[in-house]
């Protein structure tokens, strides 16, 4: 085991293999460790001190002599060879014949935790990063894989870089209490969420929770940055047009604050910002912002104000409004990371829509169970029985505004009286009511109702002459209300609101006939009242279903607007499209497993020195070049690994002072010094405005190039405005001078993929224009060597220009700046076998799959909206059909009621003739 003492027993034998006694041995045995597969006689990166070994002759129980060496060896794990000999010969050579023993050097006891990957990562101040991989190492930086599982904890607070700085909250997604389990020396948290009040550097720590296992903490520096992420929404008090009563429209403003203080772009607001309004009837509508540019708000000029206007609000009562924003900008999705942080809601705003002026009055009976307008005929007599004389029971007048909202009011005049109809036989006397319900300056209750009680005819009042030909008289019961308002808001005088037909019978002789007919008519009217009630409920349900269907249609359109590309129109086609996409992405993720960055053979002395520097906990160590960027396309990653070679293990540090500190530390450990790049000596790429404009105008970019650039720049630095030689030549032409060459200056050549520094996604903000530009310069990538050579021939032979760049091709070839095409000495290894390579982004974290996951989510939301639309449409159609069926049934009951009324009149005429 690495660093742990172990014993080697050496026997001295003669040339025939016989064991010799100690007195016969003229030399002192010793051991030389060698790395198996390395240079013979070289110890490589092995660490040992022969002066500290215990060496002595000993005897077995049978009295045989042997030489025991108790030694310890440290260094990279793997097979080593113990060479046994002596140094007593001429010139320090071995006097005796040497022997060797191959053993495996295993990892030593656990000593520390290490974060695998770059020393620094970046995320939003309210965002996430990951995955976070933790390794268990021994004292010599070997991965310990045989230790039993134990727990480590991610510190919930990350301290700021400066003394006295604020701390940021840290939480591990899907890990309760930020606890991770180390299994086989490895623990992974797919996503770490960071909440920082201010931008800056924060140091994230991972520590062991075991009291028996004391380990050094693992640390990582997180650069928290402000982005245009929406952090808060605030609803202003609504304004109304014309006023806050039923029938008006509400206008609201949503103040959108972002992390970086810059206003939210109108395009992002159109896609992700909406206002959810819930009415008193629990009907919900989702409103988009009004078109037009966002306005800065006062007193917060950094917050953009977006306007919303509702439809006409006809239902009086309390409304609830909530502003919602869902992030859909591709450049921020990876930067935000956490799904929870992509959706922001405002505090709920409540406002009241009051009732309008009293404009309508409706008359009900039987305690609001029956509306008299739906039952326009009653019967009554002047007999002794109260039931025969009662016209209506429990009469109520309900006052509404224009939209049928109950309207509490005062100062109304109410009149209820009987009137004769036209062509009344002479001698007829009008019956009277037992109590006059007419009132002046009456006030309604809170439900806008006026209770009138029962309407009963006075016994013995009214008369039908005997020579009239009938014992019944047709009258009108008139309800009048004064004090209602017209369309212009003026008070109206006493106005008839309802007339009810009354069939009055004179004398007790007809009372039995009237009672029997009244009971039949009452039954029919009761059925009609129930149907009317069902009809109103069906109409409300149909209206609500129609409104809900319209809302779901708008929701479907809203979802469609946020999806790029064409989307199937039907639900069945969309389901098939979703299944196909999901299957394709699952296969792609399975076929392209993620690979970690590698910067050399772990047993190579240079790799050991680099690893020691990374674990030196120097705050100015940035990381190994191989760990500072990722690539999503594995074919491109393999080409980049071959192209960069040993440059991938260059250690990047912030300044020259850090370089000196690391050299001093390495000298103490007797280790070699790796190549380093101090960033304070790097010249950053300087973009000229004209170059940037020309790059924006470039055409003929292949789909592969666009995809790789999108992956490399999503949530990271913008690509550098690098131009190819034929475009640079066009910039140097005199103004007005034209060119007749076949390749326009604003067109990419066929097969051009991009410049290498633009095809790698930096892990830290600003590294593309500094580290990557310094390391990769103008090296470019083409798809094939044939295309690369064709472009070089065009530039050198046609344009007569040099090509100061080395070109690498995806088919595994190299074309240097002299025009030399490398042979078989230069080749691209399979990526998984490469000892030096950039890391490939894990499928679940790659921009491609992240966008695909988002796209699948968008399509699933669209499918849910379309299914909801279909269901709402079916419910609306069913409600409309039920409404129509009830209308037809109500019409049949009306006809039945008219028939019963005609029968009653005929019976009364027959009875009179008798």
Alpha-carbon gap, residue 136 to 607, rounded angstroms: 18
Domains and CATH numbers, the chain: 6-105 (2.60.40), 110-225 (2.60.40.10), 230-353 (2.60.40.10), 598-841 (no CATH)
Share of the chain above pLDDT 90, in %: 26
pLDDT, greater one: 523 or 87: 87
Residue-wise pLDDT for 116-175, tens only, equals 877 778 788 888 887 888 999 998 888 999 999 999 999 999 988 655 568 899 988 777
HSE-up of 268 (CA within 13 Å, CB side)?
22
What is the band of 913 on the pLDDT scale with cuts at 50, 70, 90?
A: very low
Handedness of CA 314, 315, 319, 322 (dihedral sign): negative
Burial of residue 737, with CB atoms counted within 10 A of its CB: 0-12 exposed, 13-18 middle, 19 or more buried:
exposed
H or E segment and range at residue 200: strand 200-208
pLDDT of amino acid 914? 46
pLDDT of amino acid 374? 61
Task: Specify the length of the chain in residues.
Answer: 914
Bridge partners, residue 791, by sequence: none
- pLDDT-wise least confident of 177-181, 206-210, 392-396, 851-855: 851-855
Residue-wise pLDDT for 87-96, tens only, equals 877 777 877 8
Burial of residue 583, with CB atoms counted within 10 A of its CB: 0-12 exposed, 13-18 middle, 19 or more buried:
exposed
- pLDDT-wise least confident of 178-182, 627-631, 727-731: 727-731
Q: By the 8 A CB rule, do 499 and 477 touch?
A: yes
Q: How far is CA 440 from the centre of its chain?
A: 63
What is the band of 907 on the pLDDT scale with cuts at 50, 70, 90?
A: low
pLDDT, greater one: 38 or 674: 674
The answer on pLDDT for 322 being more than 90 is yes
The answer on pLDDT for 513 being more than 70 is no
pLDDT, greater one: 363 or 301: 363
Q: By the 8 A CB rule, do 484 and 425 touch?
A: no
Alpha-carbon gap, residue 4 to 697, rounded angstroms: 65
pLDDT of amino acid 740? 56
What is the band of 283 on the pLDDT scale with cuts at 50, 70, 90?
A: confident
Residue-wise pLDDT for 613-637, tens only, equals 888 878 888 889 998 998 988 889 9
Alpha-carbon gap, residue 624 to 451, rounded angstroms: 88
pLDDT of amino acid 875? 76
749 to each of 743, 805, 815, 852, how far by Cα in Å? 7, 15, 16, 29
Residue-wise pLDDT for 221-269, tens only, equals 888 888 888 888 999 888 877 678 888 889 999 999 988 888 888 888 8
Q: Among all chains, which residue has been given the structure tokens 């039949």?
A: 520
Average pLDDT over residues 366-370: 75
The answer on pLDDT for 852 being more than 60 is no
pLDDT of amino acid 910? 47
pLDDT of amino acid 590? 56
pLDDT of amino acid 783? 93
- From first CA to last CA, the distance across the chain in angstroms is 128
What is the band of 19 on the pLDDT scale with cuts at 50, 70, 90?
A: confident
Residue-wise pLDDT for 404-451, tens only, equals 899 999 989 999 999 988 777 788 888 999 888 888 888 988 889 999
The answer on pLDDT for 759 being more than 90 is yes
């Amino acid at each position: 085991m690495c660093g742990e003492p172990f014993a080697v027993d050496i026997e001295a034998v003669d040339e025939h293999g016989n064991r010799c006694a100690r007195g016969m041995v003229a030399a002192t045995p010793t051991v030389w460790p060698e790395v198996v597969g390395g240079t013979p006689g070289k110890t490589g990166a092995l660490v040992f001190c022969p002066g500290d070994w215990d060496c002595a002759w000993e005897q077995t129980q049978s009295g045989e002599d042997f030489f025991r060496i108790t030694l310890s060896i440290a260094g990279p794990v793997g097979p080593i060879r113990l060479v046994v000999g002596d140094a007593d010969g001429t010139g320090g050579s071995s006097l005796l014949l040497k022997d060797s023993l191959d053993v495996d050097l295993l990892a030593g006891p656990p000593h520390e935790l290490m974060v695998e990957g770059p020393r620094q990562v970046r995320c939003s101040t309210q965002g996430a990063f990951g995955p976070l991989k933790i390794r268990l190492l021994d004292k010599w930086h070997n991965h310990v894989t045989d230790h039993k599982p134990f727990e480590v904890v991610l510190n919930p607070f990350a301290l700021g870089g400066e003394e006295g700085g604020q701390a940021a909250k840290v939480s591990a997604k899907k890990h309760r209490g930020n606890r991770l389990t180390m299994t086989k020396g490895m623990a992974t948290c797919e996503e770490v969420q960071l909440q920082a009040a201010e931008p800056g550097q924060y140091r994230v720590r991972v520590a062991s929770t075991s009291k028996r296992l004391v380990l050094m903490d693992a640390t990582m520096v997180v650069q928290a940055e402000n982005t245009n992420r929406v952090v808060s929404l605030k609803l202003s008090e609504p304004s109304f047009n014309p006023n806050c009563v039923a029938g008006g429209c509400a206008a609201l403003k949503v103040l959108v604050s972002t992390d970086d203080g810059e206003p939210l772009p109108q395009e992002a607001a159109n896609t992700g910002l909406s206002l959810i309004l819930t009415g008193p009837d629990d009907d919900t509508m989702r409103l988009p912002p009004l078109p037009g540019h966002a306005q800065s708000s006062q007193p917060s000029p950094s917050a953009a104000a977006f306007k919303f206007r509702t439809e006409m609000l006809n239902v009086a009562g309390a409304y609830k409004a909530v502003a919602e924003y869902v992030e859909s900008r591709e450049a921020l999705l990876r930067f935000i990371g956490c799904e929870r942080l992509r959706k922001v809601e405002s505090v709920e705003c409540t406002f009241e829509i009051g009732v309008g002026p009293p404009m309508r009055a409706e008359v009900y009976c039987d305690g609001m169970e029956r509306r008299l307008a739906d039952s326009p005929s009653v019967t009554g007599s002047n007999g002794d029985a109260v039931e025969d004389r009662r016209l209506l029971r429990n009469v109520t007048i309900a006052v509404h505004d224009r939209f049928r909202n109950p309207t509490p009011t005062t100062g109304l005049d109410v009149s209820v009286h009987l009137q004769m109809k036209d062509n009344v036989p002479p001698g007829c006397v009008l019956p009277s009511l037992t109590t006059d319900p007419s009132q002046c300056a009456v006030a309604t209750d809170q439900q806008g109702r006026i209770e009138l009680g029962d309407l009963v005819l006075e016994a013995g009042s009214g008369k039908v002459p005997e020579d009239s030909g009938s014992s019944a008289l047709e009258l009108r019961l008139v309800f009048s209300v004064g004090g209602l308002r017209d369309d212009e808001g003026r008070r109206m005088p006493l106005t008839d609101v309802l007339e009810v037909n009354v069939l009055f019978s004179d004398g007790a002789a007809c009372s039995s006939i009237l009672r029997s007919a009244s009971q039949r008519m009452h039954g029919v009217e009761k059925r009609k009242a129930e149907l009317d009630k069902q009809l109103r409920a069906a109409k409300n349900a149909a209206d609500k279903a129609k409104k809900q269907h319209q809302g779901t249609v708008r929701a479907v359109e809203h979802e469609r607007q946020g999806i790029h590309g064409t989307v199937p129109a039907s639900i069945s086609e969309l389901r098939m499209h979703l299944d196909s996409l999901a299957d394709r992405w699952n296969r792609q993720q399975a076929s392209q497993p993620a690979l970690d960055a590698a910067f050399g053979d772990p047993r190579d002395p240079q790799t050991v020195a680099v690893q020691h520097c990374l674990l030196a906990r120097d705050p100015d160590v940035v990381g190994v070049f191989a760990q500072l960027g990722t690539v999503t396309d594995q074919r491109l990653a393999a080409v980049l690994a071959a192209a960069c070679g040993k440059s991938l293990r260059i250690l990047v540090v912030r300044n020259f002072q850090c370089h000196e500190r690391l050299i001093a530390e390495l000298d103490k450990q007797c280790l070699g010094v790796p190549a380093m790049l101090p960033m304070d000596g790097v010249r950053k790429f300087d973009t000229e405005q004209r170059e940037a404009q020309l790059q924006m105008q470039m055409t003929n970019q292949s789909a592969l190039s666009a995809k790789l650039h999108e992956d490399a720049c999503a949530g990271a630095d913008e690509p550098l405005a690098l131009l190819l030689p034929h475009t640079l030549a066009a910039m140097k032409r005199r103004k007005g001078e034209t060119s007749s060459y076949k390749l326009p200056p604003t067109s990419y050549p066929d097969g051009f993929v991009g410049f290498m520094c633009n095809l790698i996604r930096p892990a830290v903000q600003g590294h593309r224009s500094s580290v990557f530009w310094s390391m990769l310069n103008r090296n470019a990538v083409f798809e094939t060597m044939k295309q690369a050579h064709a472009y070089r021939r065009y530039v050198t032979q046609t344009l007569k220009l040099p090509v100061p760049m080395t070109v690498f091709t995806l088919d595994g070839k190299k074309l240097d700046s002299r025009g030399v095409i490398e042979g078989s000495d230069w080749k691209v290894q399979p990526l998984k076998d490469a000892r030096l390579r950039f890391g490939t982004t894990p499928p679940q974290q790659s921009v491609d799959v992240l966008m695909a996951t988002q796209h699948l989510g968008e399509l699933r939301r669209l499918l849910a909206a379309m299914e909801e639309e279909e269901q709402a449409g079916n419910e609306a159609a069913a409600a409309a059909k039920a409404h129509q069926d009830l209308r037809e049934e109500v019409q049949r009951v009306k006809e039945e009621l008219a028939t019963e009324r005609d029968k009653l009149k005929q019976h009364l005429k027959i009875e009179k003739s008798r």
